[in-house]
Amino acid sequence: MRSSGILAILSTALLSSAAAKDAPVVSGNPQGIEYKATLPKHPFYSDAALVGNVKGYVSAVAAPGGKGVKFTIQFENFPKKGGPFMYHIHEMPATNGNCTSTLAHLDPYHRGETPACDASKPETCQVGDLSGKYGKITSDPYLAEYFDLYTSLQPGDPAFFGNRSIVVHYANKTRLTCANFAKLPVPGNITKLAPTATKSRTATKAPVATGGAHNITGAHNATGPHHATDALTPTGVVTAPGSSTTLESFTTVPARGSVSASATSSIAPFPGAASGNKVSISLLSGVVAAMFFSL
């Protein structure tokens, strides 16, 4: 009888160890989503020696490449006594703020709570034992950020926790407060384009003669009022006096807000040539006539 009892105990131990296994590394976690658990205003443990409740949250997003989860932890306003505090992902969500309804730690690979988690081998720990794998809460405020390879953001995965809860414990495992995870959208990058204005500028360039001085006599033929600051854009070539090419055409570029106008300028090869030819001939005829009659 005694030997059969020992065999039964050994069989149970072997079955338990066979059922338990290390947590596998999770890949394929979806990008672009966040799960967040924010602590409530009031503690679950009514005898907590603090004003209000522990404040803070646990945020989880996919790690780069979808391999594991990036956790961001922020807590503050802990009781002065009762630490170091612990926090874990539990199997179930809290019902109406009841932290007891969260049941045990998330442990899909049946590791159990004993022996204690070995932080140097996180794959051997319970999936939900975050403080066991990455450190208990020993400061107030408490801030931590780390990557856990064994939790999942994929519904249906044994290590998925998006529909579960986070529970904060005293060192004696009394449940102090808890919160449920909720899925939040991650806003995408918003690219703002600065308005751009396109300005057209026409450079005005004074004609440069290759010879002596010359006069420009031009008249604006406009269909409406125009500004005196209209610029002339050369479309021809200025030549030296006496050259066979003597005309240069200019197109008026109206100033901002002015009515379009056109202008044509002529360049004469010597002063007064363009406008004084007829006057010079008349004067010469008069002088010749006067000299004739004086004889």
Query: Does the pLDDT of residue 11 top 80, yes or no?
Result: no
Q: Which two structure tokens, joined as six digits, stand for 262?
A: 């056109």
What CA–CA distance (Å, rounded) separates 123 from 17? 15
What is the set of domains in the chain, with CATH numbers? 33-185 (2.60.40.200)
Question: Which string of b and e fits 154-175 if b means at least 16 CB within 10 Å?
Answer: eeebebbbbebbbbbbbeeeeb
3 state DSSP class of 96: coil
pLDDT, position 275:
44
Least confident range of 1-15, 160-174, 182-196: 1-15
CA angle centred on 161, ends 27 and 37, rounded to 5°: 120
Confidence of residue 290 (pLDDT cuts 50, 70, 90): low
Tell me the mean pLDDT in the region 173-200.
70
pLDDT, position 265:
38
pLDDT, position 20:
79
Tell me the mean pLDDT in the region 140-154.
98
What CA–CA distance (Å, rounded) separates 145 from 143? 7
pLDDT, position 191:
39
**Cβ neighbours of residue 19 under 8 Å, at least 6 residues apart?**
110
For residue range 82-124, list pLDDT tens digits in order: 999 999 999 999 999 999 999 999 999 999 999 999 999 999 9
> What is the overall mean pLDDT for the chain?
74
Helix runs in 29-88, H state only: none
If one compares 185 and 59, the residue with the highest pLDDT of the two is 59
Q: What are phi and psi of 293, to 5 degrees?
A: -70, -30
Query: Does the pLDDT of residue 60 top 90, yes or no?
Result: yes
For residue range 251-281, list pLDDT tens digits in order: 444 444 443 433 333 444 444 444 444 444 4
